[in-house]
Structure 1
């Protein structure tokens, strides 16, 4: 097996709102796809997909949970500087995200902060001075 994550799929309650947030709010490159109720974004090295939460649960063969809260999963976007961390967090918030943790020096020596997208998914925006993950 090749060690790679090809697609990250987020289950969303409002596909149009989520698609607007990622395409217009964060400026991710939307892949034009006429295959149904799903949105794809072609990123460097991976893809991001948005799919209605109930349809995703049905596809997996599980029931949709009514439990709200932290799912135990975060997504990360690494940038090349501390100022870029601040800029991306500001851009996300201006597009409708909620700032969860303002950017600050991290215990591991980097600089990061967190936002929650309009669908409740948590994103870390980070600068890592030790490893170029951009």
Structure 2
């Protein structure tokens, strides 16, 4: 297997609400989107939104489940000062701030928000992982 993530699909309870939330954050829906699914370019990855029950059915698992799911998505920012305004933008779009912006033990600055379906997003400034011009994280070798 070639190591890569091509698409992240989030199960959502109300596709129109979730699509509007991500569009309010600046994501632009692809023309491949329709009333049953939404796709957004997210750097080198695609973010997909699909009905919660339909996604569970597609994966062959029960749709029950809430609370912490053992997964977070991350949006890294270029400057420490960008964390709080990014969290505020998510809240203004209909998200919920879970953890306000704060300095963290590893030397960065972060906070978390939940989208309308409870999917957790970390907003982080990491001084050890600078961003390239295209927004991609630059990991050391």
Scaled by the length of structure 2, what TM-score is found?
0.88
Asked whether 1:98 is paired with 2:96, we answer yes
**Using the alignment, how far apart are the partners of 2:97 and 2:35 within structure 1?**
32
Unpaired stretches in structure 1, ≥5 consecutive residues? none
Q: Which contiguous aligned blocks of 4+ residues in structure 1 show a shift greater than 6 angstroms?
A: none
Give the corresponding residue for 2:139. none
Tell me the SS of whatever aligns to 1:22: helix
Cα contact 2:111–2:123 (8 A) shared by 1: yes
Give the corresponding residue for 2:127. 129
- Shift of residue 21, structure 1, vs aligned partner: 0.2
Which whole-Å deviations, capped at 9, do the CAs of 1:99-130 have from their partners, x for residues lacking one? 11001111110000000111110000000111
**Using the alignment, how far apart are the partners of 2:19 and 2:34 within structure 1?**
15
Give 1:63-74 correspondences, 5 Å limit: 63-65=62-64, 67-74=65-72
- Shift of residue 35, structure 1, vs aligned partner: 5.5
Asked whether 1:56 is paired with 2:94, we answer no
- Shift of residue 76, structure 1, vs aligned partner: 0.5
- Shift of residue 68, structure 1, vs aligned partner: 2.2
Cα contact 2:33–2:39 (8 A) shared by 1: no
Unpaired stretches in structure 2, ≥5 consecutive residues? 136-141
Given the superposition, is the C-alpha separation of residues 114 and 34 from structure 1 closer, same or farther in structure 2, using an over 3 Å criterion?
closer
Asked whether 1:26 is paired with 2:25, we answer yes
**Using the alignment, how far apart are the partners of 1:111 and 1:56 within structure 2?**
33
**Using the alignment, how far apart are the partners of 2:117 and 2:35 within structure 1?**
20
- Shift of residue 2, structure 1, vs aligned partner: 2.5
- Shift of residue 4, structure 1, vs aligned partner: 1.2
Tell me the SS of whatever aligns to 1:31: coil
